[in-house]
Structure formats: structure tokens, C-alpha cells
Amino acid sequence: MGQVLHGCATTTEARSILRAIVARIDILVEKVVIHVMPAAVCGVLRGGSFDPSVTPASPKLADHLTLSVAAAFTRVGKDVRMVIAGPDMGACKPSPDPGLIKLVVKAHELNEKLTAGHMNISDIAAAEGVHRSYIGRTIRLAYLAPEITEAILDGRHPPGLNAKRLLQGASLPLDWGRQRRALGFA
């Protein structure tokens, strides 16, 4: 069905097809349930004439095909995201977190200042207008495993990982495998 929707000329046409085949969507605390009308799906897949203005009569709910997937609502920073479990999760478009990206970039900038040898942590903290401990916690993030940094930049990080959690976990081990486990990548 994904190919059918990708083959649509417009987003409006794709929405019309979905409206024609989906009878109802139930978003529950622990799962998402989609009720699909099999006859409408068959019609769309056969490439029959599809008139979006005609809405098929909805049969009884018992006649619907029911698709269900486990889901949970998770707080990520100030946002709440629906996390859908299962192997298809990787097919979802990654969603980069600007706060996480900003923190990783800041860690590398501060590390550059420190390793250049012109400033120590106290000098950097004074220049940045923050406490020394913040500089120390942040600079440690410049030493994250490359795959973790790449995943953060691409938006492929675990849904519960945000800037606050990453900074609080700045006492992460230097071992990259242990970092991956501590941050939920493994």
C-alpha cells in the first residue's frame, strides 16, 4: 500500500485514498488501532477508478480489518512524542532534536578552546558566563562515540534522549560500548 500512496500525484490524492480505506483510528494509551475497510483497500490496489468524492458506506466495525501496534507517549524535553514499537520504527523519518545538536556542537567548540591551549576551564567559563562545572560536563560530550554523535545529528537517537538528559549523563564512561548502553543506543 505504501507504493500506492507514494505513486499519488499529490498529497491531497494520498489523503483522499487514506480517507476512503480507513474507517477509524483509535489512539489509546498503550497502542494505536487502525480499522481498515478491506473492500476499499482491494479497490485501490486493483487500480480501479477511484473517486475521492464518493465515500463508501462503512460496514459494521466487525467487518473491518484491524491493525494494531504498541505505542507509548514519552516526554522528550518540552515535547511529548508518540513512540511506536516494532521493526518498522527505522522506516520513520528521523527527527533531529535542535537542543541535542546545539549541545554537541557547543561541546566541540568548548573542547577546541581548551585544546588550543590558550584558555583553561576557568577562563572559558568566565568568557561564556557560566560555571566551571557546566564547562567540564559539556566538554566531556565532545568525546562521545562517533556513532552516537552521528545519530544525534541525523535525528536517529533514542526518543527519550534530550539535551538535559545528555548533560546530566555527562559523567558517561569513556568506553564507547558502555556509552551506547548508558544512552539507550544498544
- Last-in-domain residue among 91, 110, 131: 91
Query: What is this structure's pTM?
Result: 0.54
Which one-letter amino acid corresponds to residue 50? F
Q: What pLDDT is stored for residue 90 in this prediction?
A: 46
Per residue in 78-95, pLDDT (tens digit) is 777 787 766 554 445 667
Asked if residue 104 and residue 155 are part of one domain, the reply reads yes
Asked if residue 105 and residue 87 are part of one domain, the reply reads no
Task: Give the pLDDT band of residue 111 (cuts 50, 70, 90).
Answer: very high
How much is the average pLDDT of 113-126?
93
Q: What percentage of residues in the chain have a pLDDT greater than 70?
A: 79
Instruction: Flag whether pLDDT at 146 surpasses 90.
Output: yes
Asked if residue 87 and residue 35 are part of one domain, the reply reads yes
Asked if residue 102 and residue 85 are part of one domain, the reply reads no
How much is the average pLDDT of 41-56?
63
Asked if residue 114 and residue 62 are part of one domain, the reply reads no
How much is the average pLDDT of 53-65?
58
User: pLDDT higher for 76 or 101?
Assistant: 101
- Last-in-domain residue among 91, 125, 142: 91
Write the CB contacts of 141 (distance below 8 Å, at least 6 apart in sequence): 103, 104, 107, 166, 167, 170
Task: Give the pLDDT band of residue 51 (cuts 50, 70, 90).
Answer: low
Average pLDDT score, the chain: 81
| Secondary structure of the chain in HEC code, one letter for each residue | CHHHHHCCCCHHHHHHHHHHHEEEEEECCCEEEEEECHHHHHHHHCCCCCCCCCCCCCCCHHHCEEEEEEEEEEEECCEEEEEECCHHHHHCCCCCCHHHHHHHHHHHHHHHHHHCCCCCHHHHHHHHCCCHHHHHHHHHHHHCCHHHHHHHHHCCCCCCCCHHHHHHCCCCCCCHHHHHHHCCCC
Asked if residue 73 and residue 34 are part of one domain, the reply reads yes
Per residue in 17-36, pLDDT (tens digit) is 888 888 889 888 788 888 88
Q: What pLDDT is stored for residue 6 in this prediction?
A: 55
Dihedral, 57, 39, 11, 93 alpha carbons, nearest 10: 130
Stretch among 3-12, 111-120, 152-161 having the lowest mean pLDDT: 3-12
Asked if residue 86 and residue 15 are part of one domain, the reply reads yes
Residue 77 and residue 95 in contact, taking contact as beta carbons nearer than 8 Å: no
Asked if residue 87 and residue 6 are part of one domain, the reply reads yes
Asked if residue 54 and residue 80 are part of one domain, the reply reads yes
Distance CA 174, CA 148 (A): 13
Asked if residue 22 and residue 87 are part of one domain, the reply reads yes
User: pLDDT higher for 55 or 111?
Assistant: 111
Asked if residue 119 and residue 40 are part of one domain, the reply reads no
Number of domains forming the structure of the chain: 2
- Last-in-domain residue among 91, 106, 131: 91
The neighbour count for residue 125, using CB atoms within 10 Å, is 18
Residue 162 and residue 100 in contact, taking contact as beta carbons nearer than 8 Å: yes
Cα 155 to chain centroid, rounded: 6
**Domain hosting residue 162, numbered range:** 98-182
